Amino acid sequence: MALMGDFERVFEIGPVFRAEHSNTNRHLCEFTGLDMEMEIKEHYFEVLDVLADLLSHICIGLENEYKNELAVIKQQYPFEDFVCKTPVVKFHFKEGVQMLRDAGFEQGDLDDLSTETEKALGKIVKEKHGTDFYMLYGYPAAVRPFYTMLDPEDPNYTNSYDFFMRGEEITSGAQRIHNPAMLIERANHFGIPIHTIQDYVDSFKYGAPAHGGAGFGMERIVKFYCNLHNIRKSSLFPRDPKRIKP
């Protein structure tokens, strides 16, 4: 909505609260969110390139400026240095599935990747390209939210993307639908009552630029950069479905 007010790029850093029953080693109910949204001039890869540069900058900065702190972490939780090659490699979802099939994973008519196949693909990418960080784009429409822009050449897929560190997903993002009529059509397709998102739809009615972005959880980035077994080790006071204090 800020972009509709003629801001070309917006970002925020702040607490995020999620009431979801995710008892995993990479989910928290409270974390620090790093969110960015930007206008797209020609193609949604512009968003991928900006975010790739951001993550590369973070990784290189940690490596160059915080060697002593990383050495302290390694004393208790040994880990291999994180490798982030530039330019960051990106693959279409179909390419990722094909790489898994070539490696002996039978995916069938796959719509999405499981945690197991994500990790397997991460190992394949590391072996072929020597990097712990990569992007996968063009996910099937069936597994993306209603507001995700469809691929204009194949509506079964979308202008969406996931970023991966050490073979596990750290964020999902996409080009958003900025046309209110298309937004209503997609919401109806997913069975979402329009009155529940009316303010959101209305914000696009006076004209909206093509735009996209993503949101990162800081603790998850720390977890995968330092290859910690559990995200709770990257939070001072972790909050999850079973812990609210201290």
Contact in structure between 204 and 179 (CB atoms under 8 Å): yes
Is 169 catalytic? The answer is: yes
Catalytic option among 27, 144, 176, 178: 27
Catalytic option among 8, 9, 18, 114: 18
Taking residue 186's Cβ as centre, other Cβ atoms within 10 Å add up to 20
Is 129 catalytic? The answer is: no
Is 176 catalytic? The answer is: no
Is 232 catalytic? The answer is: no
Is 185 catalytic? The answer is: no
Catalytic option among 219, 220, 232, 235: 220
Is 243 catalytic? The answer is: no
Contact in structure between 231 and 223 (CB atoms under 8 Å): yes
Taking residue 126's Cβ as centre, other Cβ atoms within 10 Å add up to 16
CA 188-193-199 angle, 5° bins: 105
Is 27 catalytic? The answer is: yes
Tokens at 168, concatenated = 């596990």
In 3D space, the residue among 212, 139, 150, 140 whose CA is nearest the CA of residue 186 turns out to be: 150
Catalytic option among 92, 169, 203, 239: 169
Catalytic option among 56, 63, 129, 172: 172
Tokens at 197, concatenated = 């998102």
Tokens at 72, concatenated = 């302290």
Token pair 């995916």 is found at 107
Residues serving a catalytic function are 18, 20, 26-27, 169, 172, 220
